[in-house]
Structure 1
Amino acid sequence: AGYSEAKDLWHNAPVDTLFPRTLAGPGAGPGSAARTWTRIVVAPDAACTPAVLAKGLLATVRPLGCERVLRATYTDATASSVITVGLVFTDADATVQSTLGQGLTSRLGQDVPPSLPGPGTVAARFGAPQRASWWLNAPADLPVVVTAVSGFADGRPVDSPQPADRAMTAGRTDATAQSGLGHEAKNITLRFEQLLRTAVAPPPTDKAGKDDTDGKDGDDAR
Structure 2
Amino acid sequence: MGTDADCADTQHTPPIPPQPPHRPAPSVPPAADEDPRTTVLRPVPADPTVPPPAAPPVQRPTGPMPPTAPPRPATPPPAPPRPRTPPPAAGPQLPPRPAQGPAAPAPAPPAGRPVSFRDTAAFHLAHSEALWNARRDGAHGGAPAAPESAPAAPPAAARPPAPPWPGTALPHQGAGPRPAAPVAPLPATRRSRRRRLVIAACLVLGIGLIGGAAAGSWLTEGSDAPPTPQATFAKGRDVWRNTPVDTLFPRTVDGLGVGPGGADRRWTRIAVAPDSTCAKGLDPALAETLAPVGCARLLRATYVDATRSGVITVGALTAKADAPGMLAMNSRFSTKSLAARATMMPLPYAAEGTPAAHFGNAQRASWTVRILTDIPVVVYAVSGFADGRTVTDPQPAEAAVRPGTTTAPAESGLGHDAKSLADRIEDIFRKQSGISGQNTEEP
Kindly indicate whether residue 354 of structure 2 is the aligned counterpart of residue 107 of structure 1.
no
Amino acid at match of 1:91: K
Structure of larger gyration radius: 2
Q: How many residues align?
A: 204
Kindly indicate whether residue 420 of structure 2 is the aligned counterpart of residue 187 of structure 1.
yes
Counterpart-to-counterpart distance in 2, 1:27 and 1:100: 32
Q: Which residue of 2 aligns with 1:80?
A: 309
Residues 106-150 of structure 1 deviation map (CA, whole Å, 9 limit, x = unaligned): 225211110001211111111111111000101221211101000
Amino acid at match of 1:143: P
More divergent stretch after superposition (56-65 vs 120-129): 56-65
Amino acid at match of 2:388: G
Q: Which residue of 2 aligns with 1:164?
A: 397
Contact 1:38 1:74 in 2 (8 A): yes
More divergent stretch after superposition (74-83 vs 194-203): 194-203
Amino acid at match of 1:135: T
Q: Which residue of 2 aligns with 1:92?
A: 321
Counterpart-to-counterpart distance in 1, 2:404 and 2:394: 17
Contact 1:136 1:186 in 2 (8 A): no
TM-score by length of 1: 0.84
Kindly indicate whether residue 240 of structure 2 is the aligned counterpart of residue 7 of structure 1.
no
Counterpart-to-counterpart distance in 1, 2:294 and 2:351: 29
- The counterpart of 1:32, out of the listed 251, 256, 262, is 262
Counterpart-to-counterpart distance in 2, 1:27 and 1:103: 32
Counterpart-to-counterpart distance in 1, 2:233 and 2:262: 31
Amino acid at match of 1:97: M
Counterpart-to-counterpart distance in 1, 2:315 and 2:402: 24
- Matches of residues 60-75 of structure 1 in structure 2 within 5 Å? 60-75=289-304
Counterpart-to-counterpart distance in 1, 2:390 and 2:287: 25
Higher relative contact order (CA 8 A, sep 6+): 1
Q: Which residue of 1 aligns with 2:271?
A: 41
- The counterpart of 2:246, out of the listed 16, 27, 41, is 16
Shift of 1:196: 0.6
Cα RMSD of the aligned pairs, angstroms, is 2.0
Kindly indicate whether residue 407 of structure 2 is the aligned counterpart of residue 174 of structure 1.
yes
Contact 1:66 1:89 in 2 (8 A): yes
Residues 157-196 of structure 1 deviation map (CA, whole Å, 9 limit, x = unaligned): 1112111122223333232210111111112111111011
Contact 1:17 1:199 in 2 (8 A): no
Q: Which residue of 2 aligns with 1:220?
A: none
- Matches of residues 116-155 of structure 1 in structure 2 within 5 Å? 116-155=349-388
Unaligned runs of 5+ in 2: 1-230, 439-443
